[in-house]
Chains A and B, each alone.
Chain A
């Protein structure tokens, strides 16, 4: 695929203000995504994955300390838009999001059809019956029967609710969809069915996904690119084939080693220690306290995300020999 770049993020930063500290949840993150491609954003919990999603779609809490950087979406820097413009022209229309724990996202007292059609009625001022018609179509695309528009959330199973939430994210025909742990509350077989649906939708609608998960196995179900996040920064960004076959960053290696596999006999190994407190990240490379290869420079100087081995990006002093000198 040599499609055009649809999303280009540069130096995206999101810090939160706490009572006596600043939490550096997203700390200067850059990546780009081509149309029709999926970027998986992986890492342990507390590494800033969900904050990154919130920063991209600008759903922010009140205690934001810093929110900066550029987000080029289809050629426009949407960071320059004010909140009203962002809501009217970007959110749901160009970029939408499927939230974690979909079972709790739906309003229990509204019919599914009304909820899915709502953005059309509010944003596009479409008449209600037309909007419901479109809602039925998009719900059908996600594999739900027509009569589902007349039903309430509690009448649906977990998998069906998740399909409805996906339909809601698609109704304004966005190009980019952020999936934040879209199957975390679902059963295994239901999860596999939802992943199948996401694969089909990606192909049929040539969607670009940003797929957030802590599960590298699940990430491989969808991702063309894998971005590994650690303590608010990206450690490695590479195409999926290379990341899984030959991870570069020590954290990526450790993360892959920790995955129990069903079809190989590799013994899973855990990563000693825990991710750092993001209000007081360690100096230098944030992974150095847990890294088996840590050198002196790792403790002192922050490595930058640089090109290695072709198109792969890695932020690690093991590879950045010039920077080390």
Chain B
């Protein structure tokens, strides 16, 4: 797939959390377990999966909000995997996050102006006048207008959509190169959702930002991302161009996710959806072999014994599934 360079390069990334069970025994929750992923410059990569799939942890780890257990993360060719916080200040400026919940991610005691000024203060950007100009520009960008009115408001005086605009503005104000948006619209009304997504899409193109769009909503992914990675139980199980995946998903889990999503169609009520039962596994004790095999309708013996790796089975289409890789392997 053609692209203008790699913004973030993730190799064999592991993020385990220790969880104590009993007095002495320690168990690890393998939230992210061996992920290989490139985020291209200026693209939107959607990371899709159910809760507990590790998609949020992946996003936070690549922002170095966590220190990885293993593997490596490079940004613009620079290794940031284990850099101490004191050497990460430049990264804190270029890499930003938009959280899911605009009701709890904004300081309730700050006005919009102050919320947007905070990153500029922290990073010591510009004089007071320059800051004011930058804040005005940003508020215009995220369409918080009339600017004078909104600058004075506190978060509780605004709707969910408006608050999320503030959160987007806060992420944009330092001219970032990378934004991780973690379910940025899932708390908003359906009618506002697309509005915010169009706004994000427009800003991303205008400022050439690399975007990781973390979501469970494949219907919006189709419109707002170039490529899509499906995560299940800490691993990427499928990775390809978004339309390619949606028109022909190869991994049974991606297939199930797509089958689970209804379109507005009144004939839906006459049929049940063909989705697997059960729920994602306990990540401190994942099943052997392919993590999905206990729920997979096509599970074979090999799936229970050996973990499949992410392989390119069609041009630009990678999948970690024995249905697709077993037969291709001898040829490779």
Q: Which A residues lie at the B interface, using CB under 8 A? A: 38, 44-45, 157-159, 187-193, 195-196, 199-200, 214-224, 240-241, 243-245, 254-256, 258-264, 267-271, 274
B326 contacts partner chain A, Cβ-Cβ < 8 Å? no
Give the chain A neighbours of B257 by CB distance below 8 A. Answer: 188-189
Complex CA gap A196/B217 in Å reads 19
Asked if A217 contacts B195 (CB within 8 A), the reply is no
Q: Chain B's interface: helix, strand, loop or mixed, by majority?
A: helix
**0 or 1 for each of B259-302: is its CB under 8 Å from A? (1 = yes):** 11111111011001101110110000000000000000000000
Give the chain B neighbours of A221 by CB distance below 8 A. Answer: 262, 268-269
Q: Which B residues lie at the A interface, using CB under 8 A? A: 50-51, 159, 161, 189-195, 198, 216-220, 222-223, 246, 256-266, 268-269, 272-273, 275-277, 279-280
Asked if A244 contacts B189 (CB within 8 A), the reply is no
Look across to chain B and name the residue whose beta carbon is closest to the beta carbon of A264.
Answer: B263
Complex CA gap A240/B267 in Å reads 9
Give the chain A neighbours of B218 by CB distance below 8 A. Answer: 262
Complex CA gap A259/B262 in Å reads 11
A166 to chain B, nearest CB (A): 16
Complex CA gap A196/B264 in Å reads 16
Known contacts A44-B191, A193-B275, A220-B269, A263 near B256 by CB under 8 Å: no
Complex CA gap A222/B262 in Å reads 11
B20 to chain A, nearest CB (A): 17
> With contacts A261-B264, A262-B246, A270-B198 known, what are 7 further pairs, Cβ within 8 A?
A189-B257, A189-B275, A195-B262, A196-B273, A214-B190, A224-B269, A255-B190
Give the chain A neighbours of B277 by CB distance below 8 A. Answer: 193
Give the chain B neighbours of A267 by CB distance below 8 A. Answer: 223
Complex CA gap A254/B189 in Å reads 13
Look across to chain B and name the residue whose beta carbon is closest to the beta carbon of A158.
Answer: B279
Give the chain B neighbours of A215 by CB distance below 8 A. Answer: 190
A153 to chain B, nearest CB (A): 15
Asked if B219 contacts A260 (CB within 8 A), the reply is yes
Look across to chain A and name the residue whose beta carbon is closest to the beta carbon of B258.
Answer: A262
B29 to chain A, nearest CB (A): 16
Complex CA gap A149/B124 in Å reads 59
Look across to chain A and name the residue whose beta carbon is closest to the beta carbon of B50.
Answer: A187
Asked if B216 contacts A243 (CB within 8 A), the reply is no
Give the chain A neighbours of B260 by CB distance below 8 A. Answer: 188-189, 191-192
Asked if A223 contacts B279 (CB within 8 A), the reply is no
Give the chain A neighbours of B256 by CB distance below 8 A. Answer: 189
Give the chain B neighbours of A270 by CB distance below 8 A. Answer: 191-195, 198
A35 to chain B, nearest CB (A): 16
Give the chain A neighbours of B195 by CB distance below 8 A. Answer: 270
Asked if B194 contacts A188 (CB within 8 A), the reply is no
Give the chain A neighbours of B223 by CB distance below 8 A. Answer: 260, 267-268
Complex CA gap A70/B51 in Å reads 43
B48 to chain A, nearest CB (A): 9
Complex CA gap A193/B198 in Å reads 31
Known contacts A199-B272, A261-B219, A244 near B191 by CB under 8 Å: no
B77 to chain A, nearest CB (A): 36
Complex CA gap A262/B220 in Å reads 8
Known contacts A189-B257, A218-B262, A44 near B268 by CB under 8 Å: no
Known contacts A188-B216, A189-B260, A258 near B273 by CB under 8 Å: no
Look across to chain B and name the residue whose beta carbon is closest to the beta carbon of A187.
Answer: B50
A247 to chain B, nearest CB (A): 10
Asked if A192 contacts B50 (CB within 8 A), the reply is no
Asked if A220 contacts B51 (CB within 8 A), the reply is no
Complex CA gap A191/B264 in Å reads 16
Give the chain A neighbours of B50 by CB distance below 8 A. Answer: 187-190
